[in-house]
Amino acid sequence: MFPELNNILNTSPDKCEQGQFILVSDSKTDGTFLIHHFISFYLKAGCRVCVLGLVQSFSHYSAVGQRLGLSLPQAREKGQLVFLEGLRGSLDVLLQDGPIPDTAQPLSFLRSPVPELRGLFEFVQSSLSSTEEEVAAWGPPVLIVDDLSVLLSLGVSSGAVLDFMHYCRVAVCSRMQGNVVTLVHNEEEELGDEDSELLLRSLTHQSSLTLQVQGLATGYCRDIHGQMELRWRGGSQGRPGRDQVKLFQYKVQDKGVSFFARGTSSAVL
């Protein structure tokens, strides 16, 4: 987790807000560092975390987690972390001739002609709903999806992805008072990609906090890797208000990310 980002978001592992739907979108750059931040943040806050890792293997996340001072295999053994290995599971589904094994059941939509993400939702629900003792042991549940755009590439329609996110929001945010963090790629070059734009705009309407990561418009820079716009949506959680917008630039380092206001990079000052 990045302490500077915690300051910006005004949160800390002791007092994380509940019932939030956080949307991370990136364009022209990779915003996965924010996903790693949220994974380590919520694990440090003691919440039960379910990660749908559809683009990278578990060893990748644990390697990054180790650099951030967290041991993901240990959290998995304790039962605090539930990780869906999308890459391995998809091979099991696609290369098997016989019936789909139980471990790969959530990804059964890969085989069906009209993909529906109901199985994936049932996996999320079963891994995050817990008995009374577990609720006492861990904090509120958190669902982290990395990422949703790959589902569009796998042939799932944007309507099905939106239905899945709706049900996750109902189950995790409303019923269990937990948080949902999801990553969507916004490829501006593919202007004809209506599905992706519909997904992004729809999720923006539903989110309480949007983090939009962009590469610099002027091109590659060694000291500034991009800029991030945070938008707290007015009207979220039922209260009236305007959107609050903050803009920062960032640089990804070996063991963290540093955030600074625009124009105040250490290379410039």
From the CB of 201, what's the least distance to another protein, in Å? 5
Query: Binding of another protein at residue 130 (CB under 8 A)?
Result: no
SS (H, E, C) 108-121: HHHCCCCCCCHHHH
**Bridge partner list, 180:** 21, 143
Q: Which is nearer to another protein, 239 or 255 (CB)?
A: 239
Binding part of the chain for another protein, among 79-87, 142-150, 232-240, 254-262 by CB under 8 A, reads 232-240
Of 52-71, binders to another protein (CB under 8 A) are none
Among 79, 155, 159, 252, binds another protein (CB under 8 A): 159
Phi, psi of 266 (to 5 degrees): -65, -25
Query: Binding of another protein at residue 101 (CB under 8 A)?
Result: no
Query: Binding of another protein at residue 6 (CB under 8 A)?
Result: no
- Give me the count of residues in the chain: 269
Helix, strand, coil percent content, the chain, rounded in steps of 5: 40, 20, 40
Helix and strand numbers (H, E) in the chain are 10, 9
- Give the Cα-Cα-Cα angle 45, 48, 54 (nearest 5 degrees): 110
Of 172-211, binders to another protein (CB under 8 A) are 174, 198, 201-202, 204-206
Among 48, 185, 233, 251, binds another protein (CB under 8 A): 233
3 state SS of 174: helix
Of 240-259, binders to another protein (CB under 8 A) are 240-243
Stretch (H or E) spanning 187:
none
Q: Which is nearer to another protein, 67 or 166 (CB)?
A: 166
Residues near another protein (CB under 8 A):
118, 121, 159, 162-163, 166-167, 170, 174, 198, 201-202, 204-206, 233-235, 237-243
